[in-house]
Structure 1
């Protein structure tokens, strides 16, 4: 196709590795599963690189594929039969966040809230862009962000020296 710049998977790996891994770790809640998802995402990128039109499309594509791979991993029979994260805690990347109360509470949010919070605050996507990536209406994304913030506000009440009514 004329004028279409081909995506370089190696360059994409260097540019977007941290984003994909953080999102996978947030969704999967453990290092091993996040690494599996990470590998699957970049393998798919190599297989489908000719379908990606530009850098902006690439980032959105990587996020969508990461979320889909996480869902696929959760639905697998193998995962249903393995030991949970609480029963077998792994050391490593997630230790950085273990003591972070906000990170813990974000991880405890339902998946749909975790996803929009991550995309909005960590990846700095707009509500419109999150809607396009997740296939939802902007109003649904706004509602999920609002509800997630409300849950976090309630759970974190008093954690940072703020006590309502004082």
Structure 2
């Protein structure tokens, strides 16, 4: 990607990864308006970024990391302002036809939620997620295992409640 100009890298990023960045933002924000703001912020940061991307995969990982960090900043800012976040917002329809699994994922702790999203929705390996999130690969594997166990428990209880 070293031969592409900054404008060409930006155009490539918007064309190929704007939907991915939006899905990541929706997954980590509590409302679609915040997710849309995050997408704008991510691409604005890309416009001002002076670094060089080694590959297209490096560009995608950078975009996703910036999106996750920006979502975290928004959540942190909301808590600092003592703003009540509505935890009961339904999952947006853009991510899944049946929101029950996605709703369950959104209740997981942030590190579990991001590991699940990056692994299952974006196809990253545990090692790649570890590099993106600056944690050891085994930590990511633990997060994935614990998240799956929590999801299994939550969804099993949901099914049992429906049967009764």
Normalized against structure 1, the TM-score is what? 0.82
CA distance in 2, matches of 1:79, 1:11: 36
Shift in Å at residue 72 of structure 1? 1.4
Shift in Å at residue 84 of structure 1? 2.6
**Is the partner of 2:135 in helix, strand or coil?**
coil
Residue 57 (structure 2) pairs with residue 59 (structure 1): no
Which consecutive residues of structure 1, in runs of 5 or more, have no partner in the other structure? Answer: 162-166
Structure 1 partner of 2:129: 130
CA distance in 1, matches of 2:62, 2:16: 14
Normalized against structure 2, the TM-score is what? 0.83
Structure 1 partner of 2:140: 141
Contact 1:119 1:125 in 2 (8 A): yes
Structure 2 partner of 1:29: 30
Shift in Å at residue 16 of structure 1? 0.5
Aligned residue pairs total 156
Contact 2:2 2:54 in 1 (8 A): yes
CA distance in 1, matches of 2:65, 2:3: 21
**Is the partner of 1:61 in helix, strand or coil?**
helix
Contact 1:116 1:145 in 2 (8 A): yes
Which consecutive residues of structure 2, in runs of 5 or more, have no partner in the other structure? Answer: none
Distance verdict in 2 for CA 1:73–1:158, change over 3 Å: closer
